[in-house]
Amino acid sequence: MKTHYPKIFSFILLGVSALFAVPAFAADRPLPNIVFLYADDLGYGDIRVQNPDSKIPTPCIDRLASEGMRFTDAHSSSALCTPSRYAVLQGRYHWRKGQHDIVYPFGPPVLDRESVTLMQLLKSRGYRTACIGKWHLGWDWDAVKKTDARPDHNTGYSPDDFDWSRPIPDGPTTFGFDEYFGNDVPNFPPYAWFENDRLQSVPTVTLRGGAAEYFGQRFAEGPFDIWAGPATDGWDFYAVMPTLTDRAVEWIGRQKKGEPFFLYFPFTSPHTPIVPAAEFAGTSGANGYGDYVVQTDSAVGRVLAALEAAGLTEDTLVIFSSDNGPEFPAYDRIRNYDHRSMGPLRGLKRDLWEGGHRTPMIVRWPGNVPAGKECHALMSQIDLYATVAAMIGAEIPPNSAEDSRNQLPLFLGSETSARNTLIHNTVPGRYALRHGDWLFIDANSGGHTAVPAWFAEMEGFENNPFPGELYDLRTDPGQKKNLYGVYPEKAAEMKEMLETMRR
């Protein structure tokens, strides 16, 4: 087999040199504020500007796109929550850490102590930093867990298994955030409010998992994906997103012009539980999930309005994206409501196919990012680290953000991406390589979430007789035509490239 190592190493070295170069962009400019709005399980086709056939109105996100740049080929690192968040804040592939799965209830922290996080980099340049929303990157629960604590098989830990009066180490404030307020994970215990490194509300009852009703609340739509464990008595699932949005708006209102800040606002919506507030009930044509997306859109609008009211719009880079594709009820949503959460793409959350990790992404920075522009270049959320570093004139420290690429030229209107190669992964041992317009999947199937037979028949998907998949995304974004058997040499070349990059 012909080897391609010189070519491979040349583009790797090119990326590394671009990564550590610090442009003069920020030298004579005031440092911009940065607001990162990170939706949870929002599909590529769930926003109207990206899917004209969407049954969900999203006027605030659409307006953001009209005032900024919309990326049509942007990707999260994984098709799961925790790994994608890790990759954004660390600027590196999650699989280098071995972080293929999510952090489960009372799981340990996963961020790296030996490298510098994005928020720590920003703090080194004088930024005030806050995280408001879903953390899902773990805490040191052993520090507050009682020595005799043993989780019950059906109900998990009890409230008495923890000393809730003590600080919980290794959370957001350990890794670079000045402030944290949130619910950690909306469907995991403890069901309580976190403030910095402590619980603001103390769990006193045990919630059973998977029920259709909690404290008199019925969810707008299943699945009832609630894990058993400690909860604040009367915990209101419907109040989570409104409370987080209120807190984000209030935090923006406290910031001062000329003092740079970074607000990371990871939403709990439209992830399960599906709990749209009463004012959003029936506002979409896609059931409770659609209504929850409308509420997600409203939260974006409230943040933008808060920036405007504070006179900070012109000074602020706003980034909007999602951590991965939509959950499995998206298939029934097509049949029952004629709404495609994944848009024209194939696959959902957990899948190597495009619908699992190609996400909505919009950036707005008045006077810098061209308004109303569509960018079709390849973009990864991992690249936000190096891009922000270039914006603020910061050197990337050693052993940090080794996979991130400076995409500031793209933000400013260039058509050329700093990367033409990207590795996709969700479950251990299954990887895909994007190179140019080609996508190679090093597995018999890019699917992990079960595909209903009716949908496979409707789309014309066929069983794959080959050990891998190969697609030309330029002509086949829906990944219906597997070219593995047509271009075996191309498949072999990309497999070799994938293995080299992983090494």
CATH number of domain containing 353: 3.40.720.10
Q: How far is CA 454 from the centre of its chain?
A: 29
Q: Which helix (H) or strand (E) holds 390?
A: helix 384-392
d(Cα 377, Cα 414) in Å, to the nearest integer?
9
Question: Would 257 be classed as within a structural domain?
Answer: yes
Instruction: HSE, CB side, 13 Å, CA atoms: give it for residue 208.
Output: 5
Question: Would 266 be classed as within a structural domain?
Answer: yes
Query: How much is the pTM?
Result: 0.94
Question: Would 417 be classed as within a structural domain?
Answer: no
CB 196 within 8 Å of CB 179: yes
d(Cα 455, Cα 211) in Å, to the nearest integer?
29
| Mean pLDDT (10-residue bins), the chain, 503 residues | 39 39 60 98 98 97 98 98 98 96 97 97 98 98 93 90 97 98 97 98 94 93 94 97 98 96 98 98 98 98 98 98 98 98 98 98 98 97 98 96 98 96 96 98 96 96 95 97 97 97 91
User: What confidence score (pLDDT) does residue 215 get?
Assistant: 95
d(Cα 269, Cα 240) in Å, to the nearest integer?
9
Structure tokens at 88: 């954004």
Domain carrying residue 221: 32-385
CB 271 within 8 Å of CB 326: no
User: How many separate domains does the chain show?
Assistant: 1
Question: Would 244 be classed as within a structural domain?
Answer: yes
Question: Would 399 be classed as within a structural domain?
Answer: no
User: What confidence score (pLDDT) does residue 212 get?
Assistant: 84
Question: Would 317 be classed as within a structural domain?
Answer: yes
Torsion of CA 214, 265, 270, 85, to 10 degrees: -100
Question: Would 202 be classed as within a structural domain?
Answer: yes
d(Cα 429, Cα 425) in Å, to the nearest integer?
8
Question: Would 474 be classed as within a structural domain?
Answer: no
